[in-house]
Amino acid sequence: MSIVGDLGDDAGRPLQPDHDWPFFDADFSVPAQMLAQVQALTPRAAALLWTRHVSAHPVETHPMQLREEHRLQPTIAGPEWLAEFDAVSSEHPAQSGRVAAFLVSHFQAAGAAPVLFMASRELAYALTPAALVACWPCLLALSDESPLLYQPATGKFVWCRPHGALAGGEDGQESAP
């Protein structure tokens, strides 16, 4: 069953050790029950969600290509993710730091509504908020070039900037059709 139900069951694929390697890396220690709450999206589904929630402009295919006046402008500063990313281990799980606390507080309003990790128009994952808190280092291992976290149910988003800063906000406009 798809985490993003309105796209249908064929919108996602199971996580695969070769393509989605960080989720299976022992350094990140992601429990199986969390992996079950992560869905890799097909490029077609990712493109549809990008067009619907981020940008329909053909040249804006990556978060760093969005124009300066794009409607998703951060209004909330978050903690630095880079130092915590480097410290994640079995002794220091991803769920125990300031990044996890920021993500929980930012995406808590919609309960289990999925959060999308969008590295580009064609690379995206859908996660429950609980899985996001456990798996954020895996996502940033896949792409740390300004990926966008977006929760369609609330319109809330978080930018993961390459220099290590998190910033968030809320989409105040209607999504593209």
In the block, tokens 């281990």 appear at 89
| Residue 40 bridge partners (DSSP) | 13, 125
- Cβ atoms of 151 and 106 closer than 8 Å: no
In this structure, how many other beta carbons lie within 10 angstroms of the beta carbon of residue 6? 10
Tens place of pLDDT for every residue, the chain, 177 residues?
A: 455 666 666 788 889 999 999 999 988 888 999 999 999 999 999 999 999 988 888 888 888 887 777 777 777 889 999 988 888 877 777 888 899 999 998 887 556 789 999 999 999 999 999 999 999 999 999 998 889 999 988 889 898 987 888 888 888 654 443
pTM for the whole thing? 0.87
Q: What angle do CA 140, 30, 8 make, to 5 degrees?
A: 75
Compute the half-sphere exposure of residue 43: CA atoms within 13 Å on the CB side of its CA.
Answer: 3
Rounded to a whole number of angstroms, the CA Rg of the chain reads 15
First to last CA, the chain: 24
- Cβ atoms of 82 and 134 closer than 8 Å: no
The predicted structure's pLDDT at residue 76: 86
